[in-house]
């Protein structure tokens, strides 16, 4: 009987001790989650003036701040959501380089349109006279010069896109998809056009009528220019696919 | 008798009065930003946001976050540029924190002060009003955050040397569930 009474007393003592601990914990939680209490507590600390001043200096309307506010224990965190804000400086550097090189690619691509258009216009003076095989040799030389400049500029433009760091991405979407498909037309065209042009030039200079595969020079050139222009429009025009 | 006394004490102990914090989870969401340029009007969507709310001591703390790369404007090139210009690799998550009094949780409109962390900067937006419809335990919340590029010190991307507009409003359409 005495043992039972002692056991009951011990149990009650342990119970009240537990209750007291829980009460203190609950109080501490309420204490930490109350703003007014927190400010009072912070103000009573030695380093409080600087903390309060920092709070007062924070603008209230749409002002970006570098330091995020301190997180309270009850606030959800990114880890609760299964997300991480871990930076990837290497990827950021590659993105910066990627953008920088593609901007140059874009500028050079637009600049290349000028010699390309000029080469197209000057092509009118390039063919030999069908009656005697002669014709405007100066006009032909100008066309050859502009065509060569176009090819060099095109190569330079392409090199910036090719050398740009690759960014891991999913399936390609939007205008860039067409831009990339059109490479399969204008890139071979840019190789083939000067070759056919050189053959045509040689035949014309020999007083021959342009014949054989060289006679496709103009058609290949126009197809190349058309696909090149379409490639620019594809990434410039508001097209959604 | 003693057992009854003990049971009574346990029942009315502070342990019995201690309530676990109420939790809210974001179950479905669409965040969309709108970008304006003289020749382009673009909307980028994200369905990858996650959110959680904890209500304790009369106050509910909410956090909504989405990976920057989860925004899809329908153009891979543009999205890559967006990630680059917003420093999405250095700061891969855009997060929004806000606090509501627990008593306001069921209001048809929610007046929120938002702390938005994006591109390495935090912008504070006051009195942003969201509309709410409630069906049982499910709360559907919609609204728009009037964010701008300058709020986050983002250099405006340009096209044909013309920069995009500074205003990038973000529409929020979210469904929350009380756990």
**Which residues 69-88 of chain A have a CB within 8 Å of chain B?**
69, 72, 74-78, 80-88
Residue B6 is assigned to a structural domain of this protein: no
Residue B38 has pLDDT above 80, yes or no: yes
The residue range of the domain holding B174 is: 20-178
Residue B8 is assigned to a structural domain of this protein: no
Query: For chain B, how many structural domains are there in total?
Result: 1
* pTM for this entry: 0.73
CA pair distance B130, B112, nearest whole angstrom: 8
Tokens 């179950």 correspond to what residue? B27
- Kindly tell me the burial class for residue A91, based on how many C-beta atoms sit within 10 Å of its own C-beta (0-12, 13-18, 19 or more): buried
Q: Which residue has the higher pLDDT, B38 or A188?
A: A188
Residue B129 is assigned to a structural domain of this protein: yes
Residue B100 is assigned to a structural domain of this protein: yes
For A6, A75, A188, A203, the CA distances from A70, given in Å and listed in that order, are 50, 10, 59, 80
Chain A closest-CA separation from residue B103 CA (Å):
16
Mean pLDDT of A83-100: 94
Residue B1 is assigned to a structural domain of this protein: no
Residue B55 is assigned to a structural domain of this protein: yes
Domain boundaries, chain A: 92-236
Q: What is the CATH number of the domain that holds B50?
A: 2.40.128.110
Give the per-residue pLDDT at B3: 61
B96: which residues sit within 8 A by CB, 6+ positions away? B62, B63, B64, B65, B114, B115, B116, B117, B145
Give the per-residue pLDDT at A16: 44
Chain A closest-CA separation from residue B55 CA (Å):
8
CA pair distance B112, B93, nearest whole angstrom: 21
Tokens 């939680």 correspond to what residue? A29
Q: What b/e readout covers B125-134, taking b as 16+ CB neighbours within 10 angstroms?
A: beebebebee
Contacts of A72 in chain B (CB under 8 A): 61
Whether residues A64 and B77 touch (CB distance < 8 A) is answered with no
Residue B14 is assigned to a structural domain of this protein: no
For A39, A43, A52, A56, the CA distances from A49, given in Å and listed in that order, are 11, 7, 5, 10
Alpha helices in B22-179 (DSSP H): 76-85
Whether residues A174 and B75 touch (CB distance < 8 A) is answered with yes
Q: Give the tens place of pLDDT for each residue, A102-120.
A: 999 999 999 999 999 999 9
């Amino acid at each position: 009987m005495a043992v039972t009474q002692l056991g009951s007393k011990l149990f009650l003592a342990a119970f009240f001790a537990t209750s007291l601990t829980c009460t203190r914990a609950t109080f501490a939680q309420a204490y930490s989650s109350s703003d007014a209490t927190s400010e009072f507590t912070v103000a009573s600390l030695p380093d409080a003036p600087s903390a309060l001043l920092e709070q007062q200096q924070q603008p209230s309307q749409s002002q970006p701040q570098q330091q995020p506010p301190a997180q309270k224990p009850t606030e959800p965190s990114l880890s609760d959501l299964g997300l991480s804000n871990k930076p990837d400086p290497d990827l950021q550097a590659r993105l910066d380089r990627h953008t920088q090189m593609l901007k140059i690619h874009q500028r050079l691509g637009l600049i290349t349109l000028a010699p390309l258009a000029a080469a197209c216009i000057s092509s009118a003076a390039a063919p030999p006279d069908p009656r005697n095989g002669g014709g405007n040799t100066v006009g032909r030389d100008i066309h050859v010069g502009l065509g060569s400049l176009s090819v060099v500029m095109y190569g330079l433009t392409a090199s910036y896109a090719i050398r740009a760091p690759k960014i891991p991405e999913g399936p390609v979407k939007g205008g860039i998809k067409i831009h990339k498909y059109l490479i399969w037309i204008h890139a071979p065209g840019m190789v083939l056009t000067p070759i056919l042009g050189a053959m045509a030039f040689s035949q014309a200079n020999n007083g021959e009528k342009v014949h054989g595969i060289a006679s496709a020079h103009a058609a290949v050139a126009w197809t190349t220019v058309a696909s090149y222009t379409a490639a620019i429009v594809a990434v410039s025009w508001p097209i959604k696919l | 008798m003693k057992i009854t006394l003990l049971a009574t004490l346990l029942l009315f102990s502070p342990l019995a009065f201690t309530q676990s914090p109420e939790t809210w989870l974001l179950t479905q969401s669409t965040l969309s930003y709108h970008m304006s340029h003289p020749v382009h009007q673009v909307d980028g969507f994200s369905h990858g946001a996650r959110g959680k709310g904890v209500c304790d001591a009369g106050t509910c703390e909410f956090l909504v976050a989405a990976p920057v790369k989860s925004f899809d404007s329908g153009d891979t090139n543009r999205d890559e540029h967006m990630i680059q210009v917003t420093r999405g690799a250095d700061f891969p998550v855009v997060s929004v924190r806000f606090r509501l009094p627990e008593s306001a949780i069921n209001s048809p409109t929610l007046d929120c002060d938002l702390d938005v962390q994006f591109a390495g900067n935090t912008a504070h937006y006051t009195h942003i009003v969201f509309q709410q419809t409630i069906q049982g335990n499910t709360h559907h919340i919609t609204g728009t955050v009037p964010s701008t590029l300058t709020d986050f010190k983002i250099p405006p991307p340009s096209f044909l040397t013309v920069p995009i507009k500074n205003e990038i409003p973000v529409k929020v359409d979210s469904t929350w569930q009380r756990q």
